[in-house]
């Protein structure tokens, strides 16, 4: 079973994740991404969905036009776990690629 991160571990992990915030008194982490277009937002969700299926760890997320709001928690652990942090890092990599489409070589990114 995956363990819930301690408040210190959670705080340390969040320092490496830009604009991710704690919510629910440390029970989850959240971030909203705003893309240029709906297609970019949908592309982000599609690319992340493939990884989500591989690791079998599903977020709560919504998409409204060009905005994707994400909430991550590990229900079995009763809060944020290392799985959530790993998924957040993956989301950051995918978003970075979409925000910088055409300016970086996708092979430079390791997913």
Q: Tens digit of pLDDT for each residue in 8-61?
A: 999 999 999 999 999 878 799 999 999 999 999 999 999 999 999 999 999 999
Query: Closest by alpha carbon to 110, among 92, 101, 29?
Result: 92
- Superfamily holding 24-99: Transcriptional coactivator/pterin dehydratase (3.30.1360.20)
- Convert the pLDDT of each residue in 74-106 to its tens digit: 999 999 999 999 999 999 999 999 998 866 565
Tell me the two tokens of residue 106: 């996708």
What pLDDT was estimated at residue 75?
A: 93
Q: What is the pTM of this model?
A: 0.89
Q: Helix, strand, coil % (nearest 5) of the chain?
A: 45, 25, 30
| pLDDT tier, 107 (very low <50, low <70, confident <90, very high otherwise) | low
């Amino acid at each position: 079973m995956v363990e819930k991160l301690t408040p210190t571990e959670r705080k340390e992990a969040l320092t490496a994740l830009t604009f991710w915030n704690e919510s629910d008194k440390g029970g989850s982490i959240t971030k909203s991404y705003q893309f240029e277009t709906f297609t970019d937002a949908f592309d982000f969700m599609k690319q992340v969905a493939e990884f989500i299926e591989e690791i079998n760890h599903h977020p709560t997320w919504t998409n409204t036009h060009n905005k994707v709001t994400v909430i991550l928690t590990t229900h079995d652990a009763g809060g944020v776990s290392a799985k959530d942090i790993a998924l957040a890092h993956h989301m950051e990599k995918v978003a970075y690629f979409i925000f910088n489409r055409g300016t970086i070589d996708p092979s430079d990114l390791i997913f």
